[in-house]
Structures are given as C-alpha cells and as structure tokens.
Structure 1
Amino acid sequence: MKKFVLVLACLFLIGLITGCGNVNQEPAAEVPYPEKIVIQAPPAPPTAPLLKMLENKPFGDKVAIELILYKSVEEATARIVNGEADFTVLPVNTASKLFSKDMDISLANVSTWGILYLLSSDNISSWQDLKGKEIHVGAQGASPDIITQYLLGKNEVSSNEVILKYAGSPEIAQMLIQGLASTAVLPEPLVTNVLSKNPNVKQVFDFEQEWQRVEDSSLPQAGMVVQNKFVEKYPEALDIIQKSYQQATEQTTADPSSVASLVQEKFDMPAKVFENSMARIDVRFVNAQDAKADVDNYLSKLLQFSPEMVGGKVPDDKFYLAK
C-alpha cells in the first residue's frame, strides 16, 4: 500500500513538474501568409485583371505571387491534381467536373460572364434567319457548341435545321477573315480581330444577352477555383486575394489601357486588340456565393445536353466557397 501511494506521489510530481515546465512556452505561432502563391490562368483578355493585381502588389514584399499562363485546360488540371497551383482560372463547367472527381477545391469567384458572339457576313437579323445556314463553331461538345445549340432550340430553331461545322476557333476566325466561311460563333479577342480585318462581317448576337433573354439569368463562363488546403491554412491570404482581385478587375474594366502594355508583353496580343475586345467582354468579379444561382442554372442546362460536361451532376453547396 505504501509502495502504491509512493508511485502515485511520484506521478503527481512528474505531472506537476511537466506542467510547470510548459507554463512559459509560447503557443505555436500561426502562419498568416505563405511564402509564395501560385495562380494559373489562360493568356486571354479576362486574365488581364490578374496582371493588374500583381502590379498592385497586394502583399507588398511579404509574399511572392507567381502567375502561370497555361496553354490548355489539361495542363491546368494537372497542376491542380499535383497541388502545384493554389488558384486556377477555369471554365465553370471544368471546375464542376474536377469537383465531381473529388478534387479538394472550391469555386472562389466567377469573373467571365460574356465572351461569345455570333458573327456573319450574311444578312441575318434573327435566329430564324439561320435556318439552312452553315454555322462554324469551335470545339465540338464544348461549352460554345452546347450554348449555341441551346440558344437555337430556345429560339425554335432545331439543330437539324442548321449545318454545324466544327474546327478550332483560331482556324474559324481565319476562315471568316478570308471569306471562306460566312457565319460562326467565336470568343473574344478573336471577334475583334475578325471585325477589324473583314468589314463585311458583322456582330449578330451577343450570347450573354441572348442567354439573359431566354433564361433571366447571367451566363457564368469562367471563374477561379482554390485548393481547400489553402483556404484552411491561409484564410487571411485568401481574403486578400479575393479583395485584391475584385479591385484589380474593377480597375481593368474601368481603364483597359492601364494594363494594355502588360497584356501585349505577357499575352503576345496587340494592345489595341485587347482594349477593343474589353468593350465587348463582360468581366466582373462576383464571389461564388453570390454567383451560385447563375452557376447552378448554367450547369443544369449543360447537364441536359451533355452530363459529362459537368461531371455527371450539378455540384452541391460544398462547391461554393463560403464568404
């Protein structure tokens, strides 16, 4: 019994000494910012606000920000899978596909809303005028194709009543310029390039306006996803990126010329083409929660045409970054 009491006393003393030894220890300091943040985006006009954001230096000299300009969605996806990019600008439906494959990402914001147009050198003023026409569209089965078919159907034109021809968008642009095609769906800045080089080609439809007319909803084309491990580890840095990106987007849309020289240098795009294209592109920052209704509606329409485009289903609420 005495031995038992002695053992308890020793354990108590050890605990007391250990506890006392921890009294003066500093708690583990939280790391508010990473040493470097990696953002990837395509070299296109809607990426210009990111160039502006880097110029603004949202973290001063405390954090380095690396902007990677990717050449393909597949390249961007590989970096997300390998954890090599903290933030990525992607088509909204691609973000949905990755989420459906259990990628640990969230949609942080939507920034590109209107970028697609129908151009023609023919006398077309209504959707009905397209019946019997060849329409050249880039990337069969991708969002421009699906949106085109959806808008045709909503305007009582069956896809069987038009001839859809598929090719790469740059190739289609050259065909319009050379008069080898008369009607096509193209994104900016190819639209500006075509209109400046072939005066016979006119803008017929702004797809964002047409979408809003039949859906009473905006057309969310591309947004920024973030790795959830970044969200959990660096919430303050995330907040700074979101606010800085919003500010840079507003600055860029208000004065495209302020970033035109950077676009020309980084994207190999003439400054004037960029400035003119920005007059047509609807680039505006909307956080994911506020964009949710538009994104849900857009993805549900894509789902009807091609389930694989969105990953088989419309993502749940966990897809959207909390405010």
Structure 2
Amino acid sequence: MMKKFLSMLYVLFLSAALLAGCSFTSAKSAPKPASTSEGKASASEIEASAAEPVDVNIMALKGPTAMGMVQFMSQSDSGALTDNHYNFTIAAAVDEVTPKLVQGEIDIAAVPANLSSVLYNNTKGGIEVLAINTLGILYIVESGGTVASIEDLRGKTIYASGKGATPEYALNYILTKNNIDPAADVNIEWKSEHAECLAALMAEENAIAMLPQPFVTTAQIKSKSIRVALDLNKEWDTLQENNDKPSALITGVVVARREFVEINPGAVSAFMDHYRSSVEFVNTSVAEAAQLAGKYDIVPAAVAEKALPACNITFLDGAKLKEKLSGYLTVLLEQNPAAVGGELPADDFYYAR
C-alpha cells in the first residue's frame, strides 16, 4: 500500500498537482534512533547523534544549484572534512531528486524554490528549507537588436521552457506587471527543454528566447550574434522596489528532511557552515570553481567560468531566507496555488539554528 502511495506521490509531484500528503520513511543515516511519540527527537536522541560523525546524503541538480557546492564536494572527497561523512550525488533532473527525498534515501537536497513549498505541504511539514542557494538565472536573449525593455516584447514570439514551473510563473508575473497579457499580447512558444529553445534561437534570424544560465553562455559561445537583452532578475527587483518587504526572484533552495534535522542538529549546522564557505569560494575564485564544476560533470569548465558571474549563486538563511522566499511564494500563490502546493508554508518551514 505504501509503495503504491509513494508511486502516486512521485507522479503528482512531476505534474505539480496538489496531493493529500504523506510521511517520510526513516532515513538511512547513522546513527538514527526512533523518534518520540510526538514525532520529534528527544534530548537523548540528539545527544547520541552528536557522539560520532553521521552520514549526510546530499543531492543537487546539474547547473547553478550544484555549482555552489563544488568546493564543499572537493574538500569532502579529499578527506579535508572529518566532522561527518558527506555523500554527494548530482542529478540531471528534478524527478530523480523528489522520490529519493520523500523515501528518506537522501537527507538534504537542492531543489527548485517552489518545489520546496509543494514538498512541505504534501508531506505535512516533513521538510524544512535551510537556505536560498540561487537567485534568478533567467534572461531574455535575442539574435537581433529589437529588445531593450519589457515593452519591446509586445507582439513578439518568445521561445521558452519550464511551463508549469518557475520560468513560466516568473515570466507571467513580469509581463503582467508591465501591462502585457501573456496570453494575448505575446506568443510564448513552450518547449520541453532549454536545449530546444537554444536550437530555435540558433536557427532563426531575430529570434527571442527566455533562457537560464548556463544555457545563455552556451548560446553566446556558439554564436556571437546572440546577446542578453533583459535580466529578469533585475526586472523582478524593479517591480518589487516599492514594497515594504520586497521579494526576490528565486531559482533554488536547499531543503532537508525534518526528522534528519531534529536528530542531527550538529550535522546540519556543520553542513550549513561548509556550504556557506563553498558559495563564498565559488563567487570569489571563479576560475578554480569552474574547473571543479567541470571535474564533477556539473557544467563544462569553459562554460562555467563565463557563466558563473551571471548565475546569482548565493547563500541566504535566517531572517533573509524567510523574507525573500515567503514573498516569492506569495507571488506564485496569487498566480496558481498549485505552484506552491495549495497554500503558503507555516513558520516551521523555515529552518532556524
């Protein structure tokens, strides 16, 4: 019965539909005593978990969300980190991450920002969001010279990928707030993959596409005629600048299973420290970080080196995490409640040390 339920959950996550909710199975981290009757770790469980290093199973997607981890990964592989056993896996698609997180095969994962809310709602609070790791990476690019503002998109065809996910919600929000009806004033031609948008951009004269990094850099390497016309991260910020609590366009976050956090608070805190240091390294040592991104088959080193400055890799936790992410999720909720799992997460969604 549980296997059937998890299978249904897996399918529904991929279609971004609402679910009835489920519970996490036990993780495969060690040590891991049983939880108390209230579903929270007892003081003795926490003390036991701190007695020796634990396995921390981490998964991230290829691209910017994993690029921020490369120094962390390298230090773990070299044996420089001895506080815990960090096991990293790089996935090619989000459908590889979700079931493993739900079934307890991984403890911490880098996922799309809106999926973190869906996961929270459909596991009845079974996950927490630890930090924002990537801000907006979406750009409007063109092979002509016709776009200098959002208004210039009116009446144009835009190739895009990510329908039913963050790219669609971000584009719709920015267009609508600039008095452009996404359904009537532009022709958005949705492709199944970013690579298809790139192919269309390369094949047509004066074509326009919405692409994320590092696909933007890949396009520019292939053709000198392709230029970045608009940074959607900046366009979002412009729309938010008069708000009392401005949100941000957010691409990715890091989440953890609540059970793992409660039983292993020291391991989670150590993870956060290592990850923050890794992000700082990636943003200040671009050439070295790019080589590591290539080594771990995340992004080719040559592409990574050119793309990293535009990937908006960051590390926001605590009050900044809650302010920025809650605002972003509110924008998505107003567009489509299913995008966040039906409702905004409660305060316990946001991790606090």
TM-score, normalising length: structure 1? 0.87
Q: 1:180/1:265 Cα in 2 relative to 1: closer, same or farther (>3 Å)? A: farther
Equivalences for residues 213-292 of structure 1 within 5 A: 213-216=238-241, 217=246, 218-267=248-297, 269-292=299-322
Closer, same or farther: CA 288–173 of 1 in aligned 2, 3 Å = farther
What is the Cα deviation at residue 65 of structure 1? 1.2
Pair 1:318 & 2:348 matched = yes
Q: Which residue of 1 aligns with 2:61?
A: 42
Deviations 1:182-228 (A, max 9, x none): 01111010000111212222111111111000012322221100111
1:231/1:238 contact within 8 Å kept: yes
Report the Cα offset of residue 165 of structure 1.
Answer: 0.3
In the other structure, the counterpart of 1:17 is: none
- 1:8 match: none
What CA deviation, in whole Å up to 9, does each residue of 1:152-175 have, x standing for no partner?
111111111100100021111122
Whether 2:175 is the aligned partner of 1:138: answer: no
Q: Counterpart of 2:210 in structure 1: which amino acid?
A: V
- Name the aligned partner's letter for residue 81 of structure 1: V
Query: The residue matched to 2:228 in structure 1 has which SS?
Result: strand
| Identity, % of aligned positions | 26
**Distance in 1 between residues matched to 2:346 and 2:331, nearest whole Å:** 16
Structure 1 portions without partners, runs of 5+? 1-26
**Range with greater deviation from structure 2 (51-60 or 194-203):** 51-60
2:208 and 2:136 map into 1 onto residues whose CA distance is 19
Counterpart of 2:304, as a letter, is F
Deviations 1:262-295 (A, max 9, x none): 2112226321100111111111101143211111
CA contact (8 A) 1:81 1:103 kept: no
SS in structure 2 at match of 1:193? helix
* Alignment pair present for 1:105 and 2:124: no
Q: d(CA) in 1 for partners of 2:80 and 2:130?
A: 19
Specify the SS of the correspondent of 1:279: helix
Match of 1:200 among 191, 200, 225: 225
User: What letter matches 1:99 in structure 2?
Assistant: Y
Query: 1:313–1:92: structure 2 CA closer, same or farther, 3 Å change rule?
Result: same
Report the counterpart of residue 60 of structure 1 in structure 2.
81
SS class of match (1:111): strand
Instruction: Sort the Cα spacing of 1:136 and 1:75 in 2 relative to 1 into closer, same or farther, 3 A.
Output: same
Distance 1:112 1:121 in 2: 27
CA distance in structure 1 between the aligned counterparts of 2:332 and 2:53, rounded to whole angstroms: 37
Q: Is the 8 A contact 1:45 1:274 kept in 2?
A: no
CA contact (8 A) 1:119 1:204 kept: yes
Q: CA deviation at 1:99?
A: 0.4
Letter in 2 for 1:40: M
State which structure, 1 or 2, has the greater radius of gyration over its C-alpha atoms.
Answer: 1
Q: Which amino acid aligns with 1:42?
A: L
Within the candidate set 304, 311, 316, 2:334 is matched to: 304
CA distance in 2 between counterparts of 1:150 and 1:293 reads 19
Q: 1:223 to 1:151 in 2, by over 3 A?
A: same
C-alpha distance in structure 2 between counterparts of 1:105 and 1:275, whole Å = 33
**What is the alpha-carbon root mean square deviation over aligned residues?**
1.9
Q: How far 1:135 sits from its partner (Å)?
A: 0.6
Partners in 2 of 1:35 and 1:294 — Cα distance?
Answer: 31
Larger mean Cα displacement after TM superposition, 82-91 or 50-59? 50-59
1:121 aligns with 143
Between the aligned partners of 1:285 and 1:292, the Cα distance in structure 2 is 13
State the TM-score, normalized to the length of structure 2.
0.80
2:203 to 158, 178, 181: 178
Deviation at 1:230, TM superposition (A): 1.6
Aligned to 2:185: 161
Give unpaired runs (5+ residues) of structure 2.
1-43
The whole-number CA distance in structure 2 between the counterparts of 1:192 and 1:136 is: 17
Residues paired across the two proteins, number: 297
